Chain A
Amino acid sequence: MSNVSTATPDSAGAIVSDPVKSQGYWRGVGKRVMRDKVTLVCGAILLVMLFLILFAPWIAPYDPLQGSMARRLKPVGWQGYLLGTDELGRDMLTRLMYGGRFSWFVGITPVVCAFTIGGTLGVLAGFVGGKINMLIMRATDVFYAFPSVLLAVAISGALGPGIFNAILSMTLVFIPPLIRVSESVTTSVRNLDYVESARATGANSFTIVRVHVLPNVLGPIFVYATTLVGVSMILASGLSFLGLGVKPPTPEWGMMLNTLRTAIYSQPLLATLPGICIFVTSLCFNLLSDGLRNAMDVRN
């Protein structure tokens, strides 16, 4: 292999010092991510955002709920209001920072829940196969009959508005695609020779799943889940926009987009700021997951 040529001067003590540097799988992945500029930039943007929204109570310049009729809809950069003010005279920067907390929370929580539930069911279906696979996959197909936005709106509408119900409905929407992806990844791994040879040693199913299946399927499933974070944020904003998510005056990006829409002609930049936040976040999540997918491919 390529490394063999790197002869070490201390080859006399080769018993202790490994002359051929071997790298673990995840170290290789880390190295490839470090070489990928786009992924690094996206990761950095997301980290900065995370910092801003996490520490909003300490670093935000104003109170997110305190408005003033005297300074409604002021443009970006107006007198100490870096991003202007909204239709009730509240500081936009502050509200975007606070709003991000809800948007991120409502965007990520359903994906994490669906990853856990859908991933478990999918790996189970893929590994066990047979009747259990049939049962889980046919049930999944039923959910596929409806478009995801419609399904989320319908479930949310039936449960009533509120942040918990929004998370619940979106979790339900994301479970079927996660089952599908985990099932297909697991099925392909299950039929590989190394799983067969592990069975040939007499290992039980639990050990085989833990040692041979999970380490090889979790990565791809996780990457797929990150692509859903972007979708989830947009969906969460959509629910808020329709009045099915958080209630005013709580700031949330989708909600802010809704309340600012009347200002789209007078202050177009201001009115699109929450939309830009949603767009940038979901784009970064998608590019990040693309980068991870590439980095996790051993053939690169």
Chain B
Amino acid sequence: MLQLPTMPDRGGPAQPLLIVQNLVKHFPLKGGLFGQGGKVQAVDGIDFEIRKGETLGIVGESGCGKSTASRLIMSLIEPTDGEIIFDGEKVGTAALPLKEYRRQVQMVFQDSYASLNPRLSIEESIAFGPMVHGLGRSRAIPRAHDLLTAVGLAPAQFAHRYPHELSGGQRQRVNIARALALRPRMLILDEPVSALDKSVEAQVLNMLLDLKAQFELTYLFISHDLNVVQHVADRVLVMYLGRVAEIGPVDSIFAAPQHPYTQALLASRPSMDPDRRRTEPPITGDPPNPVNPPSGCRFRTRCSLAEDICASATPPLGTTGPMHQAACHIVAPGSGHSMASREAA
């Protein structure tokens, strides 16, 4: 693999691989003749970093903006506001043009079937990216075969097949091979296993962990399955209605969740251990409409601890422990919530 080598590390190990700053995406609603139709606040100001070599898991209910966030990071849609900084360089500038950035960050989509062109054979699908970046077909096809081997599919058996001739798990392996074909440094995995059977899911997850070590990758792993995230992630970001509710190391999030939403999510998880079956009620009701989100804290309509202050002020993302932050008035000293400590920080 001499051609198309991995891009060099620029900022050194201390430089976060990806920094997301105040990312916002509002989709205008269609229908209003004069454009007065309002907007879907799919992603509304999120900040986070991903360090080199780690796996950041993003969890949240359906519709909270996980896929929109990943498409924004992948630069597939234009952000309404915000910046993406990759290895110290702002994406889309002369120092890091979009095409070069796209070699370094690749994505695996949830729907394994829709993400493969039905008219291309497996090897052609995988070879497409390298060929776009100037690799000749005679080199790109052998490379596709190497990648098929890396994801556990025998090239002799699968290279010439078409997507509809594969099972869901096999297709998702092909998608992973395709994402790896440009030798990226980071993979965005948008619910890569949620459409698969439990047994296949475990195989693919373990393969992803192996590939991460083998290719020295950094993962942004999106899922709504807390067990999966606990298995693969180093740190977890909990999203609620387009915003960050809580972010922290996986152990401290699962052992000591600070945000009432995270607590409810964890409580609603079916426990293997009968002694630890949930005592608190799980989250009830549907999430509010992102066209017209609640004022102040967005979770307040479903939060059992909500008070007046929650409707009037947006809780900032405050530090609650080592590398652990949560956006709730309860954990913000001096916020005015009756459960918060009195003195301001």
Query: Which residues of A pack against B, CB within 8 Å?
Result: 1, 3, 14-15, 18-20, 22-25, 192-194, 196-203, 207, 211-212, 215-216, 298
Q: Is B156 an interface residue (CB 8 A)?
A: yes
Residues 284-324 (chain B) with a chain A CB within 8 angstroms: none
**Which residues of the other chain, B, contact A199 by a CB distance below 8 angstroms?**
76
Chain B residue at smallest Cβ distance from A199: B76
B42-50, B58-66, B158-166, B200-208: which lies at the interface: B158-166
A216 and B161 contacting across the interface, CB-CB below 8 Å: no
| Chain A, Cβ-Cβ closest to B74 | A200
15 new A-B contacts, CB < 8 A, other than A201-B102, A201-B106, A201-B128, are A1-B167, A15-B156, A18-B157, A18-B160, A20-B165, A22-B160, A22-B161, A192-B115, A193-B111, A196-B109, A197-B178, A202-B103, A216-B117, A216-B119, A298-B118
> What residues of B have a CB within 8 angstroms of the CB of A19 in the complex?
156-157
User: Known: A201-B182, A203-B132, A216-B117. Is A25-B102 also a contact (CB below 8 A)?
Assistant: no
Question: Could you tell me the distance between the alpha carbons of A209 and B125 in the complex, rounded to whole angstroms?
Answer: 15
Q: Which chain A residues border B120 with CB–CB below 8 Å? A: 211
- Contact-residue size bin, chain B (C-beta under 8 Å from the other chain): 35 or more
B133 within 8 A of A: yes
Instruction: Pick from B116, B118, B166: contact of A25, CB below 8 A.
Output: B118
Q: Are B167 and A200 within 8 A (Cβ)?
A: no
B17 at the A interface (CB under 8 A): no
Minimal beta-carbon separation of B155 from chain A (angstroms): 9
Bound CA span A24–B162, Å: 7
Residues of A with C-beta under 8 A to B117: 194, 198, 211-212, 215-216
Residue contact B76 to A200, C-beta cutoff 8 Å? yes
Residue of A nearest to B99 (CB): A202
How far apart are B58's CB and chain A's nearest CB, in angstroms? 18
* CA–CA, A273 and B167, complex, Å: 54
A sample of 18 cross-chain residue pairs with beta-carbon separation below 8 angstroms, ordered by A number, consists of A1-B166, A1-B167, A14-B156, A14-B157, A20-B157, A22-B160, A22-B162, A22-B165, A192-B115, A193-B114, A194-B125, A196-B76, A197-B115, A197-B178, A200-B107, A201-B106, A203-B129, A212-B117
